[in-house]
Structure 1
Amino acid sequence: MASYAELWGNTHDETGEIVAYSRNGPLAMGLTGDLLSIIAWQGYRLGLPWSEAIRLARESQQLANEEMERLCAAHPLPGVIEFIKKCDQHNVLLVIVTADETSEALKHLAWMGIRRYFKVIIGHDRVAQGKPFPEMVHKACFELALQPDQVALIGDTNSDMQMGNSAGVGGIHWAHE
């Protein structure tokens, strides 16, 4: 059976903290339903009936959500706040398109104190087809009255780059360590 790190596509340090992740892995690209299916599948592989495996997966999700709420566990990467503030000073419109649900993205931005900097937030729940399809970019551009070739994209997964390319985004930047 695969280790948790192999299963999720992340790397842990000696204390157990996640220090890196695969930009092509399920944590980076998967929707909540995808992740629940992975967890349930592992329970099923261990011999649980599917109904029990999915029940346990959903309970685990609930417990994880409660812990996230308790910890307010979203933190900006180094340099992000300064970058966002410089964009704001230069009247650069900032948008987030995310594989998360819109409500979750809003909550995480609020925890970090940066919600006010983003004019539009598009979660996968606001479109019929999420990343890597272009619909999220097109929706954000429509809401800002811009064309895709008038925007730039900063992303951290292959699906971000595929989405930007298929949407016709003018500038694409691959964020990396």
Structure 2
Amino acid sequence: MIKAIIFDMDGLMVDTEVISYQCYKKIIESYGFDFDKEDYVRDYPGKPLKASIEFIKDQYHLDYDNQEKIEIFHQLENQYINDNGVELKKGLIELLEYLKEHNYQTIVATSSHKDRAENILNQHNILQYIDDIVCGDEVKHGKPFPDIFLKACEKLNVSVNEALVLEDSEAGIQAAYDAHIPVICIPDMKYPSDDYVKKVEYVYNSLDEVILYLKRRNYNE
């Protein structure tokens, strides 16, 4: 029986992947390289910021201080959010209200740090629906490793068989799969490849479709 829903945040709950793309684009193009959405979609969604900054350094053979680039990324992101805000993904509120009404536990499992997560979710009063948050600095390995989802189960005191992960990225799908937690994918910028589709329960177009999945599960159980 499913007792807890584990939400990824970026690209799943809120439309922040497009913001991340713009930030990485500015950093990479400042060194004279081209960077388009295909480059972003191939290598970046679902990955921790620290890992992506290191990847850029290696990929383009650059020499810079990682922490300095992380701070630049945060500055660019904050400026974008302050100027434009962050949109919620379709069906999120409907799903959160259903989960609250039916006493599911909820937790956000995000690679970002807690202040950023709370700031973004607070913009739309989402924290009232969330029981807890587990962030990237609380685990040793980020996605695609399973650590963050296992930590989420630990925080909510549920087994992996009692949880369901909602993800948009291949890295997140792999993390949930290796944690042995059922996962549903709601793609954002990239539809998962066949290898990853085989690892999910379903691929849905929007979050509100998860309600029907839970209703069917409850009926069958």
**Normalized against structure 2, the TM-score is what?**
0.60
Residue 83 of structure 1 is aligned with which of 90, 95, 108?
A: 95
For 2:36, the equivalent position in structure 1 comes to: 4
Return closer, same or farther for 1:93/1:151 CA change in 2, 3 Å cut-off: same
Query: Secondary structure of 1:173's match?
Result: strand
Which consecutive unaligned segments of at least 5 residues does structure 1 have? 10-21
**Normalized against structure 1, the TM-score is what?**
0.73
Supply the AA of the counterpart residue of 1:36: I
For 1:175, the equivalent position in structure 2 comes to: 186
Taking the TM superposition and a 5 Å limit, the aligned residue runs for 1:38-117 are 50-51=63-64, 57=69, 60-68=72-80, 70-71=82-83, 73-117=85-129
For 2:4, the equivalent position in structure 1 comes to: none
Residue 43 of structure 2 is aligned with which of 7, 25, 36?
A: 25
Residue 34 of structure 1 is aligned with which of 51, 59, 62?
A: 51
What's the CA shift for 1:5? 2.5
Supply the AA of the counterpart residue of 1:110: N
Compute the RMSD of aligned alpha carbons: 2.8
RCO higher in structure (CA 8 A, sep ≥6): 2
What's the CA shift for 1:152? 0.9
Instruction: Single out whichever of 71-80 and 58-67 deviates more from structure 2.
Output: 58-67
Taking the TM superposition and a 5 Å limit, the aligned residue runs for 1:157-172 are 157-169=169-181, 171-172=182-183
The size of the alignment, in residue pairs, is: 156
Residue 118 of structure 1 is aligned with which of 130, 138, 142?
A: 130
Percent identity (aligned): 19
For 1:14, the equivalent position in structure 2 comes to: none
Return closer, same or farther for 1:84/1:72 CA change in 2, 3 Å cut-off: farther
